[in-house]
Amino acid sequence: MKKLNTSPISGMQELLPAKQAIFNNLKNKIAEVYHRHGYLDIETPSIERTEILLAKAGGDTEKQIYKVNKTAESADCADQALRFDHTVPLARYVVEHENDLAFPFKVSQIGLSFRGERAQKGRFREFYQCDIDIIGRQNLPIAYDADILATLISTYNSFEIKTPIIARINNRKITTGLLNFLNLSEKSADIYSIIDHAEKIPVEKTNEALLEIGLNEDDVKKILAFINLHGERSFVVKNLSNLAVTDETFLAGVAELDQVMYLLESMGLSENISADMKIVRGLDYYTGTVFEFFLPEYREIGSMGGGGRYENLTGYFTEQKFPGVGGSIGLTRLFYVLNECGLLPDASDKTIDYAIVPISENEYDYAFNVASKLQAKGSSTTIVLTDKKLGDKITYAAKLAKYGIVIGESEAKSSHLTVKDFDTGKTSDLDLDA
């Protein structure tokens, strides 16, 4: 026999059952909260035509894309690839099914995406992305941005992780408007890029970088003061007003930020939000609200997801305009990070409630019967059917389940059952008809 490598391909998540149960639990919570907030779930195919996936993308995306080919050459499978995110497939979906959807279309997508990145710790080539988006036809009021944020914050809070999460929120109109006002629009791409990196480097380096692209010291000072502005809504809005910027885009951005954060406050989420002028998000298709999630007590691990407002989802597929706002939780990375930081629930918590241990084959029928009844009541129940010694069967049962029920001749006859709690060793009677 040829010895084959049985490890999973590097950059792919593969978990043992106990960890998988925790992962599934987070995934189910995401689905549940998204649904509870009125998002309609869809699932597009994992494989799309390459021309669709690359209609907009370029550079890195094209390099990271996984193309698929049938081994037997066939013309109808040429030029297909695995999706690298949910945004492009969503754009295609909206254009394709426009007439069957009610707009604004509140939509969720939970599924795998694929990127052939260089494998490294904490980066995955196959990963779950859990997106929500709200797509309007022609226009989409700003209050929907609060809807997206409220849903994502509620989702994180549902995880019951013992460290709080903060959404750092900005509006790109504010930054754009300020740069207009300072006559720096021509350099805005460079400045955005510098702001985007400002968090990870000392302020002197940012200062240097801004001088290097030709800004004068006065403007640099203004920009540094501006991007340092963060905190509670009323505080930040007041300070922004104090800048006395008259640019209309700036003022519109401040008003939008104010409204979005006010609505989140009215939902009791003040503790989970912070205005922050350093958040711009690199992706150039965001045009208004932008946000990223952080664990303030674990700042070093960086962003835990984010999103924002975009002017047009479908620009590459149709002349019609579909503005939207959306956000995403990168579940596979999030799970990896929470695990590394020891923030996940204990993986030794067993997910099976009862293990039924018939002593001999004579009790199998009764054991199956008891199991059916417990299962019908919603308890996860397994039956130990190995032909081993009773002690070995009980050891196996105790590895899997919280409670054990041994069934011998007398139990099968009398229908009297004793349940043993494997953790405490305590026993109690079980009345199946109760």
Q: Which is nearer to a second copy, 23 or 293 (CB)?
A: 23
Structure tokens at 141: 């009021």
Residue 137 CB, nearest distance to a second copy (Å)? 10
Residue 45 · residue 114 · CB < 8 Å: no
Residue 397 CB, nearest distance to a second copy (Å)? 10
Q: Which is nearer to a second copy, 55 or 301 (CB)?
A: 55
Q: Which is nearer to a second copy, 212 or 365 (CB)?
A: 365
What region, left, alpha or beta, does residue 72 occupy, with left being phi > 0 and alpha being psi -120 to 50 degrees?
beta
Q: Which is nearer to a second copy, 201 or 385 (CB)?
A: 385
Residue 115 CB, nearest distance to a second copy (Å)? 9
Q: Which is nearer to a second copy, 319 or 429 (CB)?
A: 319
Residue with tokens 């694929």: 114
Please state the separation of Cα 14 from the chain's center in Å. 18
Residue 211 CB, nearest distance to a second copy (Å)? 36
Residue 159 · residue 26 · CB < 8 Å: yes
In Å, what is the CA distance from 220 to each residue of 39, 195, 209, 238? 43, 11, 10, 21
Residue 327 CB, nearest distance to a second copy (Å)? 16
Residue 321 CB, nearest distance to a second copy (Å)? 13
CA distance linking residue 152 with residue 158, whole number of Å: 10
Residue 155 · residue 29 · CB < 8 Å: yes
Q: Which is nearer to a second copy, 96 or 217 (CB)?
A: 96
Taking the alpha carbons at both ends of the chain, their separation in whole angstroms is 56
Residue 272 · residue 157 · CB < 8 Å: yes
